[in-house]
Amino acid sequence: MDALEITGLRYYGYTGYFAEERFLGQWFDVDLTLWVDLLAVGKSDLLEETLDYRQVVERVQNCIETSKVNTIEYLATQIGRSVLECDRVSKIRVRLTKVSPPIPNFPGQIAVEIIRSKEESF
């Protein structure tokens, strides 16, 4: 199966364990790998035979900006579920990074990565 990558997405969202995170928000980065069949578009060069990347980006943005949940694991799952609703996507890898987690004396980032397919139930 072929794959498309969409990387470097960054949106401000309200996911986190602490009430302040869900109220004040913080930045999240997202990288995606999408398994799609690119055989037809590889032969035809017709846009209608490939995935509309704009739709994927809009779905990720909406999930991050509107969700107020406790964990990035749950948010990553919601992103995966939303993107898998796109007709051409059969499998997805979501890497979701909390850019500045509120952990004392921790200058790093926290990331979660999930891989899901349409056949798997969420």
- Per-residue confidence in pLDDT tens, the chain, 122 aa: 899 999 999 999 999 999 999 999 999 999 999 999 999 999 999 999 999 999 999 999 999 999 999 999 999 999 999 999 999 999 999 999 999 888 889 999 999 999 999 987 55
What was the pLDDT predicted at 103?
A: 87
What per-residue confidence (pLDDT) applies to 122?
Answer: 58
The alpha-carbon radius of gyration of the chain (Å, integer) is 16
The answer to whether position 122 is within a domain reads no
Task: Specify if 58 maps to a domain.
Answer: yes
**DSSP 3-state of 33:** strand
Question: The domain containing residue 101 runs over which residues?
Answer: 2-117
For residue 86, being part of any structural domain is answered with yes
Determine the Cα–Cα distance for residues 83 and 88; give it in Å rounded to an integer.
10
**Known catalytic residue: 43?**
no
Q: What share of the chain is helix, strand, coil (3-state, %, to 5)?
A: 35, 30, 35
Q: Total structural domains in the chain? A: 1
Residue 88 lies in a domain: yes
| Residue 30 placed within a domain | yes
| Active-site residue, selected from the candidate residues 68, 91, 98, 118 | 98
- What's the CA gap between 71 and 38, in Å, rounded? 34
